[in-house]
Amino acid sequence: MSFVSRGFRGRRRDSDADPGRVPPGQYVTDDFPVLSAGPTPHTPFDEWTFSIVDGDERKTWTWEEFRALPSETVTVDVHCVTRWSKLDTTWEGVSVDTLLDEVETEAPYALAFCDGGYTTNLPIADVTDGKAWVAFAYDGEPLDPEHGGPARLLVPHLYFWKSAKWIRGLALREEDEPGFWETYGYHIYGDPWREQRYSGD
Amino acid sequence: MAGATVLGRLTWQVATVDEVVEETPRVRTIVLAIPDWPGHRAGQHLDVRLTAEDGYRAEREYSIASAPGEPVAITVERLEDGEVSPYLCDELRPGDGLELRGPIGGYFVWDSRDGGPLLLVAGGSGVVPLRAMIRHRQRSGGKVPVRLLYSSRTLEDVIYRAELDQLGDDIEVVHTLTREQPTGWTGYARRVDAALLGEVAWPADDGVRAFVCGPTSFVEAVADGLVQLGYSPGRVKTERFGATGR
Amino acid sequence: MQALDGNAIGGLLIEVFGAEMTTATGTCAHCGAVAQVAELVVYLEAPGTVVRCRSCESVVMVVVDKRGIKCVDLRGLDKLERA
């Protein structure tokens, strides 16, 4: 029986949340912790682009072009592999379906690439059919650089490290190539409901 | 030498809180009784671990505020939205257990045989490990000239104020109060900048050892400033505390 | 959250290497810069601890805690020598 610190509770953990919404091993928080593996990039809007890269082909949107695309507001639960979950978070973004509609591809996988060099890999099936967005606003406000602004990927059904901050594009791939955290030991897929935190889980 | 960092496995152990001292409205010193303490060096720190009933854990680091040979103490600043510091500052009381491991650190340390002169530059709670160095210097019959440049928001926020006021003439303490100064204050009243450093720092010289501790942005500005003044980078040791604590 | 330095992972490195490592010198595999571990840039608030070269920002070390087992990746370093 390890030592327990008398009277210590830690960050407010909401134990009233509907357990059906909380994956195994997670706790619900009101905060929005900032987790980062490097310095916060600050790309000016007039330099920002989003691209879908398929071999030699590339489809690119400038910030204006990106913001002119149809967008939607969604309310989703997010789950970080460090064990915190945040319920009912509201985002505004462009569905990845909308972006992929402009490209003809059979590629089964994508590697999200970002300012600062961060990458993460996902099956195309997990970013289509209304499962993913490139989000530019959180809680009604433009996305803060600390939280991934100008835009981040949002893939709520997977652990939040897959919702890549500072995203600049998706490179379409034939193979499922491990991205940053996947290379360092995190799970290649990352389903919070099967508690796929680390490779081998 | 006695007090060197223990090599090999570093184990967690439960210490007992002996005494708490309210240093300022936001800062508390916690004096500990640690059963198997191998001794420590001035500048080293402890890792502290808190565990809730449901197994939830949080871990932080705190610099040791006391000199080698004195009872081990840490000084903790209560952070606004902190998770650990409010517990340590408000809830923890004498008799409670505190799980820790240490001592840790081999870079940001000063032993009296290292000599000087010493230039110590502190931003806020960055003064803690530097105070351990000063106390060690006093306890070891110190002759090394010491100058402490200490940046705080207000006079009320100055940690160890009475102790620092009573040091001998061979230890100069220069305060700067960045947010608010008492009436009649004739000291510095701004953030440490190149000009202020230039006026306070020892002239760059082979013998001077500088230790800079505080928030990351403070440490980087000061370290750059000292290098601009001619300090050799190898003689400027830095320890960054996050803006929101470690 | 601001970046810290190698002092912040002193305890973690003793756990991993069995020795005090903040005075060890690391050589960045990307740019060749040589620095003491205490002077490297450390990001603690992440799914893992990420250590970067102060000169070129490349990742030099990553430590992931996999349910209590610390996994260290040192591919970003050409050399790591104890003092």
Domain's final residue, options B72, B104, B136: B104
Is A13 within 8 Å of B56 when comparing Cβ atoms? yes
For residue B63, the domain's CATH number is 2.40.30.10
Q: Which residues of B touch C81 (CB under 8 A)?
A: none
Does any CB of chain C come closer than 8 Å to the CB of residue B106? Answer: yes
Q: Which domain holds residue B57?
A: 13-104
pLDDT in tens, A146-175: 999 999 999 999 999 999 999 999 999 999
What CATH code is carried by the domain that includes residue A64? 3.90.420.10
Strands B118-123 and B97-104: unpaired
B119 and B40 within one domain: no
CA distance B5 to B40: 7
Q: Residue B13: beta bridge partners?
A: B100
Question: pTM of the entire structure?
Answer: 0.93
> How many percent of chain A have pLDDT more than 90?
88
Q: Which residues of chain A lie closer than 8 angstroms to B57, CB-CB? A: 10
B179 and B162 in a common domain: yes
A36 contacts C43? CB cut-off 8 A: yes
Q: What's the CA gap between A199 and A173, in Å, rounded? A: 20
pLDDT for res B9: 59
Q: Are residues B96 and B116 in the same domain?
A: no
- Cross-chain residue pair A37–C48, CB shorter than 8 Å: yes
CA dist., res. A122 & res. A105, Å (int): 15
Name the helix (H) or strand (E) containing B132.
Answer: helix B127-139
Q: Touching check for B61 and chain C: CB below 8 Å?
A: yes
Asked whether residue A163 is domain-assigned, the answer is: yes
What is the least distance, in Å, from the CA of A36 to any CA of chain C? 5
**Are C14 and B5 within 8 A, CB to CB?**
yes
B92-121: average pLDDT: 96
Is A37 a domain residue?
Answer: no
Q: A86-100, A107-121, B197-211: which has the minimum mean pLDDT?
A: B197-211
Quick one: B34 and B61 in the same domain?
yes
- Let me know if residue A184 belongs to a domain: yes
Of the pLDDT bands very low, low, confident and very high (cuts 50, 70, 90), residue B246 is very low
As for how many domains chain C has, the answer is 1
pLDDT for position B170: 83
**Domain region containing C17:** 4-81
Average pLDDT over residues A69-74: 98
Q: Measured between alpha carbons, how far is A151 from A154 in angstroms, rounded to an integer? A: 9
Minimal Cβ distance to B91: which of A7, A13, A31: A7
Q: Is residue B2 part of a domain?
A: no
Tell which B residues from 159 to 178 touch C, by Cβ distance under 8 Å: none
> B93 and B127: one domain?
no
Q: Is B30 domain-assigned?
A: yes
Q: Both B92 and B118 in a single domain?
A: no
Q: Are residues B188 and B214 in the same domain?
A: yes
**Higher model confidence: residue B120 or residue A32?**
B120
What is the overall mean pLDDT for chain B? 93
Contact between B13 and B35 under an 8 Å Cβ cutoff? The reply is yes
- Cβ contacts (< 8 Å) between B98 and chain A: which residues? 5
DSSP-assigned letters across all residues of B135-150: HHHHHTT--S-EEEEE
Interface predicted TM-score (ipTM): 0.95
Residue B128 and residue B92 share a domain: no
Residue B214 has pLDDT above 60, yes or no: yes
Question: Is position A176 within any domain?
Answer: yes
B133 and B158 housed in the same domain? yes
What is the average pLDDT score of chain A? 95
Confidence at B6, pLDDT banded by 50, 70, 90? very low
| Residues in chain B within 8 Å Cβ distance of A27 | 56
pLDDT tens per residue, range C5-63: 999 999 999 999 999 999 999 999 999 999 999 999 999 977 999 999 999 999 999 99
- Does the residue B246 lie in any domain? no
**How many angstroms away from the CA of A98 is the closest CA of chain C?**
30
